[in-house]
Amino acid sequence: MQLQMKGISKNRTTLNATGMRATNQRALILDIIRKEQGHLDADEVYRQARKKLPLLSLSTVYRTLRLFKKLDLVEEIHFDEAHHHYEAKQATEHHHLFCLGCGKVVEFTYPLSHHVKRNIAEAEDFDIIEIEMRMTGFCPKCCQDRQ
Amino acid sequence: MQLQMKGISKNRTTLNATGMRATNQRALILDIIRKEQGHLDADEVYRQARKKLPLLSLSTVYRTLRLFKKLDLVEEIHFDEAHHHYEAKQATEHHHLFCLGCGKVVEFTYPLSHHVKRNIAEAEDFDIIEIEMRMTGFCPKCCQDRQ
DNA sequence: CTCAGTGCAAAAGCTTTGCATAATA
DNA sequence: TATTATGCAAAGCTTTTGCACTGAG
């Protein structure tokens, strides 16, 4: 069986390039995460994916997300909530603003990496792989509502 | 029943000041988090606390940590692991380095807040409450081991 | 054809909740 | 004494795992 959807075949190529098997499930999940602007958690990926692959199991979603994370295809973000959120790995470094009022997530770029990586890594003799800056606060709308 | 331990009575004062009841459980948990340098998770707090209060229940630990977080007595940190870690609220802004090899956590200070808070908050019209920078990588020892 | 990947169901964490009891103010 | 907090047990969520079956290479 071959799925014929926009972007899917490109994803198959991506998957093949990593040496792992390009299954429909994996291609679809990668497609969903790449198309989606937001920051999906496992269950949201699952619900979206089942529209096209109704037999898909939640375990496969978890296994796939874990795999993608290891392969650096997706990034795991840690909000206040106990569970994880995922987004497609992007070229440009960006960070997250989390609104305590409405839960909205805003992405912003900030040239932190080069500067901090050099300074902190030297200071601490650490080999830095990743930087994640998470800011919480209130978005304009919620600022108003609180007054 | 009154516990007589170093620091506990001071914690009772802290607790009373917030308007909530100063129970032995709360005083002890606050004491443990304040004395501990590391970043304890709920279960670690529980195990330590039971040495002195053997009947303490894990639910109380969770309820207390949630309360302390709301009262701004502790800070919740998000590592890769799915569960939360807690540390006593500190005056100086600091961030965390997490070693992917051995799991060690290093704290470091970096004057990020003032600069970023101003710049990003303006850019995004957000009212920033908190900044958390989390870096992952390999500590000196694990760097060596990997070669 | 072979082995990696999947679905299902069950288990394993972590965290929250309901309720009777105990302790604080 | 009037609430508030606790302990226990049970439930709720998110995530992982075992195993037989399916499908990609």
Report which of residues A97 and B10 the model is more confident about: A97
A140 shares contact with chain B (CB less than 8 Å): yes
Domain boundary among A65, A88, A111: A88
> Residues B32, B43, B69, A77: is their CA dihedral positive or negative?
positive
pLDDT beyond 50 at A14: yes
Instruction: Examine the domain organization and report whether A108 and A127 are in the same domain.
Output: yes
Report which of residues A83 and A69 the model is more confident about: A69
Domain that holds residue A117: 95-146
CATH of the domain at B69: 1.10.10.10
pLDDT in tens, B39-86: 899 999 999 999 999 999 999 999 999 999 999 899 888 876 778 889
- Per-residue burial over A106-118, b if 16 or more Cβ lie within 10 Å, else e, is bebeeebeeebbe
Average pLDDT of every residue of chain B:
83
The H or E element that residue B122 is part of is helix B113-124
The residue-averaged pLDDT of A98-117 equals 79
CATH of the domain at A102: 3.30.1490.190
Domain boundary among B46, B69, B88: B88
Instruction: Examine the domain organization and report whether A14 and A71 are in the same domain.
Output: yes
Instruction: Name the residue with the least CA to C1' distance from nucleotide C6.
Output: A60
Domain boundary among A38, A64, A88: A88
Q: Do B140 and A120 touch (CB under 8 A)?
A: no
Q: Do A100 and B140 touch (CB under 8 A)?
A: no
pLDDT in tens, B126-137: 888 888 888 888
Instruction: Examine the domain organization and report whether A48 and A25 are in the same domain.
Output: yes
Report which of residues B146 and B34 the model is more confident about: B34
Predicted local distance difference test score (pLDDT) of residue A4: 47
Predicted local distance difference test score (pLDDT) of residue A110: 81
Instruction: Examine the domain organization and report whether A80 and A100 are in the same domain.
Output: no
- CA separation for the pair B101, B138 (Å, rounded): 6
